[in-house]
């Protein structure tokens, strides 16, 4: 990876961590994708305020997990764009596309997202943690 791209990524992660600390949060779900799919998920940053996961998928794989699965509310940063088929319980799949550099918020949800494109998908997921009520 080029040095300028690496620096940009480090700055982005630092900024997201600061943003997350300011926003407050809903808790991180009990389902831990870094443990369930360690070859696809990597914990990039974790502290008492935020957890940042990096997910990479190849064409034909799930984009943010395999099969129907759930996520807590999160901020997503698209590192490598993708074309996908998104399904939710009780609903037919619909086509979706994300572009490099897109940033978007998703409330907690259950879905299945298949990489139907020709490129690897890569996304950073920023999960905000519930504030610790014992600390001032």
State the chain's mean pLDDT as an integer. Answer: 81
pLDDT band at 4 (very low <50, low <70, confident <90, very high): low
* 5-19, 30-44, 91-105: range with lowest mean pLDDT: 5-19
Rounded Cα gap, residues 112 and 62, in angstroms:
7
What's the pLDDT score for residue 20?
A: 42
Which residues, 6 or more positions from 16, have their beta carbon under 8 angstroms from its beta carbon? 50, 52, 75, 77, 124, 126
Domains belonging to the chain, first-starting first, are: 3-128 (2.60.120.10)
Strand partners, 104: 76
Rounded Cα gap, residues 9 and 25, in angstroms:
23
Phi, psi of 39 (to 5 degrees): -80, -20
What's the pLDDT score for residue 10?
A: 53
Instruction: Identify the helix (H) or strand (E) that includes residue 22.
Output: helix 3-23
- Predicted confidence (pLDDT) at residue 16 exceeds the cutoff of 70: no
pLDDT band at 8 (very low <50, low <70, confident <90, very high): low
What's the pLDDT score for residue 125?
A: 94
What's the pLDDT score for residue 22?
A: 40
Averaged pLDDT, 26-35: 59
Tens-digit pLDDT profile for residues 61-112: 888 877 888 889 999 999 999 999 999 999 889 999 999 999 999 999 999 9
* CA contacts within 13 A on the Cβ side of 55: 27
What's the pLDDT score for residue 40?
A: 85
């Amino acid at each position: 990876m080029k040095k300028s791209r690496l620096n940009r990524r480090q700055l982005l992660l630092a900024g997201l961590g600061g943003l997350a600390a300011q926003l407050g949060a809903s808790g991180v779900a009990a389902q831990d994708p870094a443990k369930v799919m360690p070859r696809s998920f990597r914990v990039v940053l974790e502290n008492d305020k935020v957890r940042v996961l990096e997910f990479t998928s190849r064409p034909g794989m799930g984009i943010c997990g395999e099969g129907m699965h759930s996520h807590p509310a999160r901020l997503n940063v698209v590192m490598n764009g993708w074309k996908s088929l998104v399904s939710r319980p009780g609903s037919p799949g619909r086509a979706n596309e994300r572009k490099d550099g897109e940033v978007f918020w998703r409330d907690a949800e259950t879905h299945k997202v298949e990489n139907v494109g020709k490129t690897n998908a890569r996304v950073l997921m920023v999960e905000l943690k519930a504030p610790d009520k014992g600390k001032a």
